[in-house]
Amino acid sequence: MYATESIDRSLTRQINHWLMATNRLAVLENLASEAAWQGIDHTMEQLLKASFKQSIDEVTAFAQGLKQQLETGNGPDNQRSVRRGVLQLRDKYLKAEETIQFYTVAINSRTTPRLAALLRACDILCIKSMQELLHPLGRKTPLVLTYVDKGVGASILKAGLRLWDGRISPVAAIKVTQHNLYRPTAIIHETGHQVAHILGWNEELALALQNKLSGYPPEVAQAFSSWASEMAADAFAFVHTGFAAVAALSDVVSGSPASVFAFHANDPHPISYLRVMLNVTMCREFYGSGPWDALLDAFKNDYDIELVSFASVPLIRKCMEALPAVVHILLGTGHRAFDGKSLSQLINPNRSGPLELSKLEYLAGPALFTSHAWIWKECLRLLALNGYKIGVGTGDLPALYKQQEDWMTKLGFSVEMN
């Protein structure tokens, strides 16, 4: 009898504990400040809050049900059932917390009005990049929440994916790294993942690579096919931002030789060495010769394939032969995902090439970086232009970063205020 009571008390205590924790979780202002919430798009705020509420309501309802079961039922079977339920409750709570925490941490990264404006500019860049592809294909563009975090590379939690708590992610959450905040071409790589997911391009591309590279050794076709999703995202960043994306990528992957030549069987990322080669090939195929040649020379000098003996070297050598063909499949071949058109037909990479960028600069004049009309209309090409100049690496580089910061701030402030 005594044991039954103590078990009941213990179960009640645990249910209450998780219930109280859930109640605390429900006060979203505890997790992200009012000011931080105001730094994001209103519709996004509503979507997220509605999603959080559903998640919390589910945990609460489950806890209440257990409480009732414990109060109304009796006997060891009931206790056992409730005990199992408590474990489930604990698990549900932790998953809900993980989900909510993820987004609120992201929202909280908008710590000051200025940083919030910069991140809103990133949101706009992301949305515009996707709209340009999705709109002509009659698809809706998801909302994007960018947030700033430490680390080397950007990442995305895609809209439409299942979250920790089992709910569907209502918005795309894209991490922009601190070091690349004023050179954020990587976020366009991430939106490339999102559009490929929406359009089902990854699967189609993987198959196309497998089939169309049949003239190369099977391991080459197999490797490129397994890297389809990352190459798709690279191609998307390239068509929007040209050499800027290539230079930024090169800087990001330029780690130790071991990491540059590393090959992991299940990694969707191409071997970094090959990835830089692939991106430079994209530039060459569309723009001819240019500063990417110098970039590649320097890269090859830093990571001389003749001087290393990593296991990946033979595969790299074989794959290099296929790079022009891969670029053609990525950018010049029609795909069902694009209604039979090629990516470069839908988004012309030449618009972000050196010639067109310099033409843009000439035609807009000094207003290009100050006029809100130009900034809004051409923000993606401004990203390409600034990134191009930074990528070339000559001139007043700090001034270029400042220019990037200034127009992004203008862009971010122009759509919403804190």
Torsion of CA 390, 392, 394, 399, to 10 degrees: -10
Is 33 a binding residue for other proteins by CB under 8 A? The answer is no
Sheet containing 172-177: give its strands across.
Answer: 144-149, 172-177, 155-157
Candidate list 42, 84, 317, 402; residue touching other proteins; CB under 8 A = 42
Tokens 């698990």, located at residue: 91
| b/e 45-68 (16+ beta carbons within 10 angstroms → b) | bebbeebbeebbebbbebbeebbe
By CB under 8 A, tell whether 9 contacts other proteins: no
DSSP-derived letter for residue 104 is H
Work out which of 113, 217, 257, 324 binds other proteins, going by CB under 8 A: 113
Tell me: does residue 370 bind other proteins (CB under 8 A): yes
Q: Do residues 122 and 94 make contact, with C-beta atoms less than 8 angstroms apart? A: no
- The residue from 26, 32, 107, 124 that contacts other proteins (CB under 8 A) is 124
Is position 415 an interface residue for other proteins (rule: CB under 8 A)? Answer: yes
Residue 115 CA to residue 175 CA, distance in Å, equals: 14
* Binding status of residue 46 toward other proteins by CB under 8 A: yes
Check binding of 50 to other proteins (CB under 8 A): no
**Tokens representing residue 48 in the block:** 């997220």
| Nearest residue (CB) to other proteins, 116 versus 316 | 116
Query: At which residue do the structure tokens 């999603």 appear?
Result: 51
Contact between 409 and other proteins by CB under 8 A: the answer reads: yes
**Minimum distance from residue 50 beta carbon to other proteins (Å):** 11
Sole window of 37-45, 213-221, 256-264, 291-299 interacting with other proteins (rule: CB under 8 A): 37-45
Q: Does 413 bind other proteins (CB under 8 A)?
A: yes
Cβ proximity to other proteins: between 192 and 270 the closer is 192
Total site size for other proteins, rule CB under 8 A: 35
Stretch that binds other proteins, among 7-15, 120-128, 201-209, 284-292 (CB under 8 A): 120-128
User: In this structure, how many other beta carbons lie within 10 angstroms of the beta carbon of residue 333?
Assistant: 17
Q: In angstroms, give the least distance from the CB of 365 to other proteins.
A: 6
From candidates 141, 229, 344, 352, binder to other proteins by CB under 8 A? 141
User: How far is 262 from 250, CA to CA, in rounded Å?
Assistant: 15
3-state secondary structure of 138: coil
Distance of CA 34 to the CA centre of its chain: 25
* Reduced 3-state DSSP string for 145-210: EEEEECCCCCEEECCCCECCCCCECCCEEEEEEHHHCCCCCHHHHHHHHHHHHHHCHHHHHHHHHH
Does 407 help bind other proteins (rule: CB under 8 A)?
no
Which residues are paired to 156 by β-bridges? 174
Rounded Cα gap, residues 87 and 8, in angstroms: 15
Q: Stretches 123-131, 301-309, 314-322, 383-391: which one binds other proteins (CB under 8 A)? A: 123-131
Tell me the three state secondary structure of residue 147: strand
Out of 84, 179, 377, 402, point to the residue binding other proteins (CB under 8 A).
377
DSSP-derived letter for residue 268 is S
CB of 210 to other proteins, least distance (A): 35
Query: In the bound complex, what is the minimum distance in angstroms from residue 233's beta carbon to other proteins?
Result: 21
CB 196 within 8 Å of CB 229: yes
Give the nearer residue to other proteins in terms of CB position, either 133 or 327. 133
Q: Which is nearer to other proteins, 115 or 320 (CB)?
A: 115
Nearest to 160 by CA among 143, 138, 137: 143
Question: Taking contact as CB under 8 A, which single stretch among the options 5-13, 43-51, 196-204, 341-349 is the one that binds other proteins?
Answer: 43-51
Does 199 participate in binding other proteins (rule CB under 8 A)?
no
Q: How crowded is residue 183: how many other Cβ atoms within 10 Å of its Cβ? A: 23
Assess 372 for contact with other proteins (CB under 8 A).
yes
10 Å CB burial of residue 228 (0-12, 13-18, 19+) is buried
Site for other proteins in 295-354 (CB under 8 A): none
Nearer to other proteins, 2 or 362 (CB): 362
Q: Is 416 in the site for other proteins (CB under 8 A)?
A: yes
List residues binding other proteins (CB under 8 A): 38, 42-43, 45-46, 113-114, 117, 124, 127-128, 131, 135, 140-141, 362-367, 370-374, 376-377, 409-410, 413-417
